[in-house]
Structure 1
């Protein structure tokens, strides 16, 4: 369901935002990274890994991180607030573990952009860029294409390629796809399939979970695999005269597969069964909790960008039974999994070099509503103000940044956008501010296309 302001906001957003990518593309064409000198910006280079906990569908700011207990009943919802370790700051009563760990987090309450459609907002959230629209057709049907801007992991892989068998990006536990709709922003876009993050499909909580892609068939070992790789390279070399975009993509993917197969580190990282039953119980024996545990193992293996999505696509799209779904499933699983993750990262020292971000593509409407044909109320899409969590890699914990109005509908202090999150991620990973890539029309784009959220590190309001 769309906000009545949707059409006006989309036109304004596209007019004042960064230029979208347009036109027909060939995968990987025209992209040239520029290396730049270092920087002294806050948080620069402090992260070896970034973990994005993606709450797909849009979690309610009012019913989680930004409660408004004095608002009218049709706004405040059914939950009560509880205090946290941050003096004077309250969150939802169904986040008790977070409340006790609030001193580890920066809670940013004024994220905002102008996109109220799931697919388009997901592209904005995962790339920091407006979604390029098709020529003709409805933007409501806009799905993933190779015209898209590369997501964070793909762009990092392009400007800082790895050759050690460790993928630059891993996304788990599933691709964001529903029927004919594939959410944009999940791959390398115009950079081509060579730079796509590795997408994990499967439930880490399943007893038989294992990465089939990293499993060698019976009788195969590393030496035999390398021998076959050499033979394949000779065959490919002999067919160079038939090289085209499709065959090059296949060869790129073959090289990536060989590197992963011969990397014992990744094989071990994906073997979640190495964890004790006690540890697995701490995270929660459910798909999301075990995905966070697997994400922690990706951090330990040195993967630079990990995306862990809670459940399936649009899990947090609570148009119907908002409070029942939050109370009975979503919030308990989120609260337990995040608490275990933060305990482990902190105890191992990895939190000092891991930027953890918890966010959705937008928030939920202040006003409660009931969809036609439904009897249990919920909240609709809302991108004008929503909340996100940040921790680790130099981020100052125990603070709240930004303030919304009495209904958590609009910021009353400065707001930050997905473009600002983009800049903050690349800054944390030590990507210099003047590094660019070119789109297929040879137009340069700064990777850091927003403003660094310096307040995460300084504690000073913007």
Structure 2
């Protein structure tokens, strides 16, 4: 049998994981290694069937969106709590939201707003909202191999989606990409395979945003990043040049004889299929096509906006059409240009002049686009951040961290239409009914995807860990 030097991890059928990773693990785009290429190395449960949602688009408002200035306004609270904005009526009777979200207000009869997301994880990482795990370190700035896998990683672990497409995509780049000048080496934990391994990481987009002006104040005068996410070029990736790809294809062909000698191994017996899927992924145009926004009408591109968030969500819709189960889109800080929801200063200016107008453009555009294409009922759109903001406005007209209370806006994909779930106190500081954990949100997403949220997966020590970390489905919001 073929042997590759290195540490060995024996599989139950006698084939080493090292061998299969070397032969079958053709890395696709940088850090994203498709689990389909390693199906023979690590048997996993069959892909779920029967979920109302075929795909999920998670829009992460990185930084912590202000609940009382957006979807849980308190107009009768003291001025230092209620802030500067006025509420407006929406298409859902009894629900008022911020005056700077007029287009979003027209779609609230199609959505469920959860006002009572609460936890204690005080970090600007999407770890909790993407995994349901709230025990991470608040100062963690890079993923750890002991982190839990996110929803996208579980989708890939279960081999969901078309074989020639990734099971999970992260746009427009890995979270923290724009903060590298401030924190070298940063990669905010969340969208990773965690203890299941890097082979379950998503396909990460790349971006090169353009700015039309310099900020007057670093970080708190957001400048809109223009552009669109792209795929890494094959010729700049390690071991992925055309010549090296040709050599890999030749190597795989030469290895056929070695594999034939081990036909008694169930894992090796499946290797031909794995090779075919690997080559299909490397040669297909479907992934590239999904990122090609030139295929979209100019009017639709303008409707989403030609900025990074609008373009990323339009790519996300194209990925949904291609059958990708999980796509996350993250607001990014991009250094001193700001543009996150971390508003310790100038909270109202950042919301009024940039963040809310962008959200009020992209969310309605996405929902309308999905509905017109007949995809809304099978696509779950989740808009939320990693935390909320403090009730009291600080001395710099900002709001500070507040994981004790935040919101999640869910639309389509089997969620009830026109529902307000949970209530908060007079300052939107704490839930007064139906508190919801990030694990509950994650469990609900799994349920809508047809995945048992209490499914156990093995961690690095082979301990069984529930994928929603104790979260339970919020049955009241499921249609």
Give the TM bin, normalised by the shorter chain: 0.7 to 0.9
Whole-Å separation in 1 of the counterparts to 2:235 and 2:207: 15
Cα deviation code 1:170-216 (max 9, x no counterpart): 01012112323321122101111111101101158866864343689
Q: Does 1:183 align with 2:188?
A: yes
Deviates more, 1:29-38 or 1:276-285: 29-38
The answer to whether the 8 A contact 2:228-2:308 is kept is no
The answer to whether the 8 A contact 1:214-1:267 is kept is no
Aligned length: 401
Report what 2:426 is aligned to: 406
Report what 2:212 is aligned to: none
Whole-Å separation in 2 of the counterparts to 1:377 and 1:256: 54
Whole-Å separation in 2 of the counterparts to 1:37 and 1:197: 19
Whole-Å separation in 2 of the counterparts to 1:128 and 1:207: 31
Helix, strand or coil for the counterpart of 1:334? helix
What are the within-5 Å matches in structure 2 for residues 367-406 of structure 1?
367-370=392-395, 376-406=396-426
Q: Does 1:294 align with 2:293?
A: no
The structural deviation recorded for 1:310 is 2.2
The structural deviation recorded for 1:55 is 0.5
Q: Residues 388 and 232 of structure 1: is their aligned pair in 2 closer, same or farther, counting only changes over 3 Å? A: same
What are the within-5 Å matches in structure 2 for residues 297-312 of structure 1?
297-312=318-333
Whole-Å separation in 2 of the counterparts to 1:346 and 1:85: 17
Deviates more, 1:79-88 or 1:440-449: 440-449
Find the partner of 1:441 among 446, 455, 461.
461
Whole-Å separation in 2 of the counterparts to 1:227 and 1:198: 22
Whole-Å separation in 2 of the counterparts to 1:359 and 1:129: 16
Whole-Å separation in 2 of the counterparts to 1:36 and 1:163: 11
Q: Residues 420 and 377 of structure 1: is their aligned pair in 2 closer, same or farther, counting only changes over 3 Å? A: same
TM-score, with normalisation over the residues of structure 1? 0.79
The structural deviation recorded for 1:399 is 1.4
Find the partner of 2:55 among 23, 36, 49.
49
Q: Residues 100 and 206 of structure 1: is their aligned pair in 2 closer, same or farther, counting only changes over 3 Å? A: closer
Q: Does 1:284 align with 2:284?
A: no
Report what 2:4 is aligned to: none
Instruction: Specify every segment of 5 or more residues in structure 1 that has no aligned partner in the other structure, as ranges.
Output: 1-25, 39-43, 134-138, 241-252, 371-375
Cα deviation code 1:131-160 (max 9, x no counterpart): 455xxxxx5245311111111101221122
Deviates more, 1:348-357 or 1:162-171: 162-171
Report what 2:127 is aligned to: 123
The answer to whether the 8 A contact 2:206-2:230 is kept is no
Report what 1:91 is aligned to: 97
What are the within-5 Å matches in structure 2 for residues 204-353 of structure 1?
210-213=230-233, 228-234=247-253, 258-312=279-333, 315-353=340-378
Whole-Å separation in 2 of the counterparts to 1:171 and 1:35: 24
Q: Residues 401 and 203 of structure 1: is their aligned pair in 2 closer, same or farther, counting only changes over 3 Å? A: farther
What are the within-5 Å matches in structure 2 for residues 23-62 of structure 1?
33-34=44-45, 45-62=51-68
TM-score, with normalisation over the residues of structure 2? 0.76
Helix, strand or coil for the counterpart of 1:86? coil
Report what 2:169 is aligned to: 170
Deviates more, 1:293-302 or 1:439-448: 439-448
Whole-Å separation in 2 of the counterparts to 1:433 and 1:283: 33
Q: Residues 172 and 366 of structure 1: is their aligned pair in 2 closer, same or farther, counting only changes over 3 Å? A: same
CA RMSD of superposed structures (Å): 3.3
The answer to whether the 8 A contact 2:379-2:412 is kept is yes
The answer to whether the 8 A contact 1:423-1:452 is kept is yes
Whole-Å separation in 1 of the counterparts to 2:401 and 2:257: 54
Whole-Å separation in 2 of the counterparts to 1:453 and 1:408: 21
Whole-Å separation in 1 of the counterparts to 2:47 and 2:140: 39
The answer to whether the 8 A contact 1:172-1:308 is kept is yes
Instruction: Specify every segment of 5 or more residues in structure 2 that has no aligned partner in the other structure, as ranges.
Output: 1-17, 22-34, 210-224, 260-273
The answer to whether the 8 A contact 1:385-1:409 is kept is yes
The answer to whether the 8 A contact 1:45-1:429 is kept is yes
Helix, strand or coil for the counterpart of 1:260? helix
The structural deviation recorded for 1:117 is 2.2
The structural deviation recorded for 1:367 is 0.6
The answer to whether the 8 A contact 1:129-1:419 is kept is yes
The answer to whether the 8 A contact 2:116-2:434 is kept is yes
Q: Does 1:201 align with 2:226?
A: no
Q: Residues 317 and 208 of structure 1: is their aligned pair in 2 closer, same or farther, counting only changes over 3 Å? A: closer
Whole-Å separation in 2 of the counterparts to 1:214 and 1:77: 49
Helix, strand or coil for the counterpart of 1:412? strand
The answer to whether the 8 A contact 1:103-1:399 is kept is yes
Whole-Å separation in 2 of the counterparts to 1:176 and 1:36: 28
Whole-Å separation in 2 of the counterparts to 1:285 and 1:265: 22
